[in-house]
Chain A
């Protein structure tokens, strides 16, 4: 078996175990109240932590300029998401803005 298969299987298994961790393996653990409240913030914290560097520093360096298409398209998408609450419109509007900006700044 090649190295890449060993890596794949081990990473796949470890990933599966992290996903399974609290759902099955630690299911009888009763988290204290503070942990239960904390879990409410998991989605919003993780999602924003993925989004912000992707938009403001996609090449590693900070770019707050109007010449950064990801920043402008990201702001447009966020406004559409806020007003419409529709994932479809958000992604469509953000992608359209990004493609137009990329072409015109290109």
Chain B
């Protein structure tokens, strides 16, 4: 007799979330360290640099802000840039929202804070599996918290190691690798392949646009091509 499939408990979802996120941390930790180094290099105090990692908690925006501080950019310009770079999170929010409808406002508020690129990618793949959704928010919480902890610790390591971690080592490349690890397995049919190819090409052609607008344009082109290919 086959065993009945057991539905995952809160606890098992939480630990599965941590486990699912762990490999990604290999790519995130060097990125956090480099942020810490660059923030100190731009003249931020250790405390300010660390605080930004939990107040903003968005890698690419933090890198951009550090660069703008270096250039002596006016505050309003920095705020606008930060907003535009982070607009993609609204897409993530829309993509996750069907799965979180049953949660309390407190859960929604908490999970939203943890909705970074690297948590989103792992969590959305888990939500898309056709398994019992009941406790999947615990998976989200586990993945999000372990990523948050890694981001804070690697920022601190970068701040204190300072110039001993030269940016020229190319450690930032690990982040591209984590995204490859997340993207490739999700290409599993013709529409998703065409979506990836068209988004990649657009991003390349539009890379000269300021404020990562090329990224947003590429996302929309990829989504449109995926939809178009699905209808044929």
Chain A residues within CB distance 8 Å of chain B: 3-12, 14-16, 18-24, 26-27, 31, 34-58, 60, 62, 69-70, 73-74, 77-78, 81-82, 85-88, 90-92, 94-95, 98, 102
A50-B215 in contact (CB<8A):
yes
B219-A46 in contact (CB<8A):
yes
A19-B92 in contact (CB<8A):
yes
Q: Which among A4, A38, A39, A91 is the interface contact of B27 at CB below 8 angstroms?
A: A91
18 inter-chain pairs at a CB distance below 8 angstroms, sorted by A residue, are A8-B51, A8-B56, A15-B82, A20-B112, A40-B226, A41-B191, A41-B192, A43-B95, A44-B195, A45-B219, A46-B117, A46-B199, A50-B117, A52-B203, A70-B173, A74-B180, A94-B177, A95-B177
The answer to whether B214 has its CB under 8 Å from any CB of chain A is yes
Contacts of B182 in A (CB 8 A): 43, 47, 87
Q: Which among B65, B92, B105, B207 is the interface contact of A42 at CB below 8 angstroms?
A: B92
A23 vs B95: C-alpha distance in the bound complex, in angstroms?
9
The answer to whether B185 has its CB under 8 Å from any CB of chain A is yes
A19-B89 in contact (CB<8A):
yes
A3 vs B72: C-alpha distance in the bound complex, in angstroms?
11
Minimum CB distance partner of B188 in chain A:
A44
Per-position binary interface string of chain B over residues 192-227, scored 1 when its CB falls under 8 Å from any chain A CB and 0 otherwise: 100111011111100100000011001111111011
The answer to whether B57 has its CB under 8 Å from any CB of chain A is yes
A47 vs B142: C-alpha distance in the bound complex, in angstroms?
22
What total of chain B residues lie within 8 Å of the partner, measured CB to CB? 88
Contacts of A26 in B (CB 8 A): 97
Q: Which among A4, A43, A48 is the interface contact of B69 at CB below 8 angstroms?
A: A4
A67 vs B160: C-alpha distance in the bound complex, in angstroms?
34
A22-B94 in contact (CB<8A):
yes
Minimum CB distance partner of A82 in chain B:
B184
A26 vs B95: C-alpha distance in the bound complex, in angstroms?
12
A41-B183 in contact (CB<8A):
no
A52-B200 in contact (CB<8A):
yes
A52 vs B112: C-alpha distance in the bound complex, in angstroms?
27
The answer to whether B88 has its CB under 8 Å from any CB of chain A is yes
Minimum CB distance partner of A39 in chain B:
B95
Q: Which among B57, B105, B181 is the interface contact of A90 at CB below 8 angstroms?
A: B181
Per-position binary interface string of chain B over residues 69-108, scored 1 when its CB falls under 8 Å from any chain A CB and 0 otherwise: 1000001001100110011111111111110110001001
Closest 9 CB pairs of A and B: A45-B222, A11-B82, A49-B218, A87-B23, A41-B226, A52-B200, A81-B184, A90-B181, A47-B183
